Structure 1
């Protein structure tokens, strides 16, 4: 009989593309994942991974086995969901993927509350880009995702994945103290932003794509001078007088000295969602956690 844990390891390698990435997703060491795959190869008397350059690729036999593993894991998930539903309380392990500012500004409070109120639930969070986290939910590699999109760059849920909107995260223009836009008073429209030197996230991120599309709508190409993934790095660059940035409020924290906010018209906003697989929709751990996420996000600041 094939070992389910070893099939899970193979499935993780198939989903994430490498042993190291699979180990991170599963919470194991790469060595432990490699050992699981080696044991599965002995069980099946089949070569499952082949070295290619510095990485590995799945053989044709491994791809077929990984597809079967996905079906088996889905059956196990349904069984676990039924058992937890019958108990009527959140139990077992719940894996959560969240984008960086939600991981910093929203999840700590939710995870702390879950630990206090539901000691039988083992909730674990990983910081993941929104585009990747939704795919991880669809593939069964994480139970719940907190993701975001923008009105001009929607992030639809794939088949088999449900979602609920948690609310909207408003954004502000951040400029150095004494900047002309800070002195003029009143909201600033996007037509007033041309000619600015911009600090933003790298290409390929939702925030970067939104900024480029918004500013290009004025008919001119924006000047991107600095690119950084972390909002706190962007704030430090603004504080140094090196440019301006549009940064959401969630997880932003207190502004450093030398940085002021300027209201924008219309106010940019990104939409926050919680997503989970349809097969796990009845699981108490999902419903309780989603409720906490919504309550904490929409609660007025203390």
Structure 2
């Protein structure tokens, strides 16, 4: 009988290519990986890996086994979901990962709602950045990840994952209260903001990639004069009149800074927020609660709007 957990390890080795990388992804030692692979080979009755220098190559038999792995894992997830329903909603601990603003504006309100509607469910929240979320779901360190469209999101049709859309998050202009554009009810990305001094995160971050892509599509390159990754620091710099920023909507909701104006922007940047889970699993009832929280995310005021201090 083949141990499903060892089959998952073989799949992880196929994905990461080396024993060391597989061990790091699964948070185990390389020797444990080697021992489990040897045990899986004994269970299968055929060699599954062969050494080539420091690397392990999968044999043809391993490829045959992995061809069925996606179906096996999906069915295991479905069986788990069925048992959860049978147990009247008491599924134990569900590990939920999300980026920081997703936790504050989507996950936390969703879990507050579920405490009343599904008291038998228990959730453990972990901060997980988009570049790490997919692998954490794949390896079982997370059951559900709230993440965003980026190069780290699994490709459409990836048999290891289920992806459910939550919302399209727009980016809004953050301006000092005294800025000439603060009297406008809405702005145009290129016409109004191309000549401004910009505050933005470092290249390689999701925020930087979204904003620069939208600006380039609108025909200009932002003049970035300050590079800051912390959203609260960005608000302080905008308040001090050091520049403007185009920020994701979840970043400014709930913050409390005086003398800052938020304006909607035409042709703005946007990103898709999704709930990622393993194929065959169901992210309910969390998915519905997160979508409900997303529907209540504030939008910029049409009239003068300041984040009161």
Alignment root-mean-square deviation, CA? 4.1
Offset at residue 173 of structure 1 (A): 0.8
CA distance in 2, matches of 1:109, 1:164: 18
Cα deviation, 1:225-248, whole Å, max 9, x if unaligned, reads: 333333223223323433211112
CA contact (8 A) 2:148 2:273 kept: yes
Cα deviation, 1:141-196, whole Å, max 9, x if unaligned, reads: 6432323349xxx98633344443323434321123423322x4332212121222
Offset at residue 293 of structure 1 (A): 0.8
TM-score normalized by structure 2?
A: 0.69
Structure 1 match to 2:188 = 189
CA contact (8 A) 1:174 1:261 kept: yes
CA distance in 2, matches of 1:146, 1:224: 29
Match of 2:288 among 265, 269, 291: 291
Match of 1:37 among 21, 29, 33: 33
Q: Which structure 2 residues correspond to residues 231-270 of structure 1 after superposition, within 5 A?
A: 231-252=231-252, 253-266=254-267, 268-270=269-271
Single out whichever of 61-70 and 227-236 deviates more from structure 2: 61-70
Q: Which runs of 5+ in 1 are unaligned?
A: 24-29
Structure 1 match to 2:26 = 22
Q: Which structure 2 residues correspond to residues 142-181 of structure 1 after superposition, within 5 A?
A: 142-149=142-149, 157-160=156-159, 161-181=161-181
Q: Which runs of 5+ in 2 are unaligned?
A: 299-309
Q: Which structure 2 residues correspond to residues 210-221 of structure 1 after superposition, within 5 A?
A: 210-221=210-221
Structure 1 match to 2:230 = 230
For these two proteins, the number of residue pairs brought into alignment is 281
Instruction: Please give the secondary structure, in 1, of the residue aligned with 2:203.
Output: coil
CA contact (8 A) 1:172 1:262 kept: yes
Single out whichever of 224-233 and 59-68 deviates more from structure 2: 59-68
CA contact (8 A) 1:13 1:21 kept: no
CA contact (8 A) 1:201 1:208 kept: yes
Structure 1 match to 2:109 = 109
Offset at residue 6 of structure 1 (A): 5.8
Structure 2 match to 1:27 = none
Single out whichever of 254-263 and 98-107 deviates more from structure 2: 254-263
CA contact (8 A) 1:174 1:247 kept: yes
Offset at residue 102 of structure 1 (A): 0.5
